[in-house]
Chains A and B, each alone.
Chain A
Amino acid sequence: MSKHQYAMVMDLNKCLGCQTCTIACKKLWTDRDGTGYMYWNNVETRPGLGYPRQWDRIGGGWKDGALQPSPLPTMDDYGHAWEYNYEQRLYEGKKQPVMPSPEPHSGMNWDEDVGSLNGDENYFFYLPRICNHCTYPACLEACPRKAIYKREEDGIVVLDQDRCQGYRYCIKACPYKKIYFNEVAGKSEKCIFCYPRLEKGQVNACAAQCPGRLRFVGLLDDTESPVHKLVLVHKIALPLFPERGTQPNVFYVPPFNPPKREHYNKSILEDSRLPLDYLLYLFGPEVKDVITRLEAELRNAQEGGRSDVLQLLIGRDAETRFHVRPQLVQIQS
């Protein structure tokens, strides 16, 4: 067990689906050879196929103490990285329009805004995803090279590039499919929770850049941190697919959409815009309690009361949203 655990909370009610987090991550970490197709951070539309396609349905994780089987996703599931023929258009005088190549057929938010129908009303929301830096990482257990380890000082799960030999058992084992294979390097890679930034007191790039201000970062055991308050005190943030057994350390405030037009003042549990079954699928049975708590806070605020929970979720400034404490997690020599 780690001495401390960095965690992130994402408020899904605030996500714009703008992918600024994705680009912040990509420019910083995966703008290298072999990494074009991989997004350590991605934002996908839910309900939807996800990235890689059907990652939530193909396996991995734990059941009764044993790793669960899963196929490796294919490049078609992730979507090939494509380039545009700028040279031909701009420098070689060819008249054809600028086109991507290879022709895209899938990607990290391919079915953007498609969503689904609830009765005759369309609904969807965005789900930003990074590695969950799990307390019981299936990837770590699956690696025969012992290339994956969980940092004792802050709980971040990292993959040692010197030890990795590209066997890809970790990718199969991860129920969130958040490890990627770099064929050029012959090694697998994953989100490192921006630990070099955290060590310098800077928050993760995805969180720093988020225009929706929906990400909260801190140590789960730091009582001053927003993640501690949201997850452990107010109990309004839940991990994704808790039944997969890895105990994620990324938590989500479930989407808390307004009621349907003609049903104002009804509870979301009573008549939700988002089918409750889908939220139960993603976040497990506790989601009902979380929505009940959130509704109570909202009602209180609407009646003129003060809600610390909603004030925290608004997250007006970086000091509210981020508590990066490198002095707390220094390795004891």
Chain B
Amino acid sequence: MRIRPATLILVIGFGVCALSVAQSGSKPIAGQSLPVAASSVSTDTLLSGGPAAWKEIAVKRVALNRTPPLYDTDEPATLDIPSVDVRVVRSGAKLLVQLTWHDSTQDATVLAEVPNTPPETRFRKVQTEINDRFFDAAAVMFSKQPTAGAVTPSLQMGDAEHPVEIYYWNATRGAMLMQAQGRGTTRRTGESFPARGAYQNGQWSVTFELPDLAAGTPLAFAVWNGSQKDRDGRKYFSVWQVLE
């Protein structure tokens, strides 16, 4: 698929932006550091507790950007979700990340359960209900190898020197662990991870359980809005934020 020249310019722009974070050394530049709270509350409580369990945790509002139209045939999309609120807690040997954002449409469903028997043995099959809907989703991406203030990975799913792990949560299909080493290399590992998403009062709140990550690890966030037909690289994304 052909990539628009304008897209390349924007992508390079974001790359320079990411590089500026990297060149600032081990101390993140102001505005792109991510505070980490310590908590004695159990990870289970934090995962299932909802806003009450998180209300004491410092929040960082991170600006979101819309990926430019990647392909000639992409419909333009407006910046309906300008930011995501990020909370990070270290609890036990885990890092819990909660993303909260406003989204006026809850693009999620409960798909019919597929019986654990071969379809040819069943008279009735589970049917596709809707073929043209897309679901809300969010992801946390971080470098597989923590980079102690050196060059950060490419924002486009890492690069050959900086493989990234992507903890992806989909409002309908659940949590999936992915890995990538650059644009177009993303693959699902087949593994899942503990995550919980809740939609209330026009707002998504999604909690990810990540392995513990060292200070200086760069994290980036992404949000997909199903009603804007978001999927793939058509999404909202943040620039790298560096763990304090």
Stretch at the interface among B38-46, B119-127, B158-166: B119-127
Q: How far is the CB of B117 from chain A (nearest CB, A)?
A: 10
Chain A residues with CB under 8 A of B124: 83
Q: Is the interface of A mostly helix, strand, loop or mixed?
A: loop
Chain A residues with CB under 8 A of B127: 33-34, 36-37, 80-81, 184
Cα distance A181–B127 when bound, in Å? 11
B131 near A180: Cβ-Cβ < 8 Å: yes
Cα distance A146–B183 when bound, in Å? 12
From residue 57 to 88 of chain B, which have CB atoms closer than 8 A to chain A?
70-73, 75
Chain B residues with CB under 8 A of A75: 128-132
Q: How far is the CB of B174 from chain A (nearest CB, A)?
A: 11
A35 near B131: Cβ-Cβ < 8 Å: no
CB 8 Å contact bits of A174-218 with B (1 = contact, 0 = none): 000000111110100000000000000000000000000000000
Do A146 and B128 contact each other (CB < 8 Å), given the known contacts A141-B1, A172-B73? no
Q: Is the interface of B mostly helix, strand, loop or mixed?
A: loop
Contact size class for B?
20 to 34
**Candidates A34, A67, A183; contact of B73 at CB < 8 Å:** A67
**Candidates A31, A38, A73, A182; contact of B132 at CB < 8 Å:** A73
**Candidates B114, B120, B188; contact of A184 at CB < 8 Å:** B114
From residue 142 to 179 of chain A, which have CB atoms closer than 8 A to chain B?
142-146, 165-169, 172-173
Q: How far is the CB of B172 from chain A (nearest CB, A)?
A: 9
Cα distance A101–B215 when bound, in Å? 58
Interface positions of A (Cβ within 8 A of B) = 31-38, 66-70, 72-75, 78, 80-81, 83, 141-146, 165-169, 172-173, 180-184, 186
CB 8 Å contact bits of B107-145 with A (1 = contact, 0 = none): 000011010000110001111111110000000000000
**Candidates A67, A168, A183; contact of B111 at CB < 8 Å:** A183
Cα distance A288–B129 when bound, in Å? 43
**Candidates A33, A66, A72, A74; contact of B125 at CB < 8 Å:** A33
Chain B residues with CB under 8 A of A81: 127-128
Cα distance A66–B74 when bound, in Å? 12
Cα distance A75–B71 when bound, in Å? 25
B94 interfacial contact with A, CB 8 Å: no
Which 10 pairs, one residue from A and one from B, show the smallest C-beta to C-beta distance? A183-B128, A72-B132, A33-B126, A69-B73, A181-B131, A36-B127, A32-B119, A167-B232, A34-B128, A33-B125
Do A33 and B131 contact each other (CB < 8 Å), given the known contacts A68-B73, A183-B111? no
B71 near A184: Cβ-Cβ < 8 Å: no
Q: How far is the CB of B51 from chain A (nearest CB, A)?
A: 30
B71 near A34: Cβ-Cβ < 8 Å: no
Chain A residues with CB under 8 A of B112: 184
Cα distance A283–B72 when bound, in Å? 27
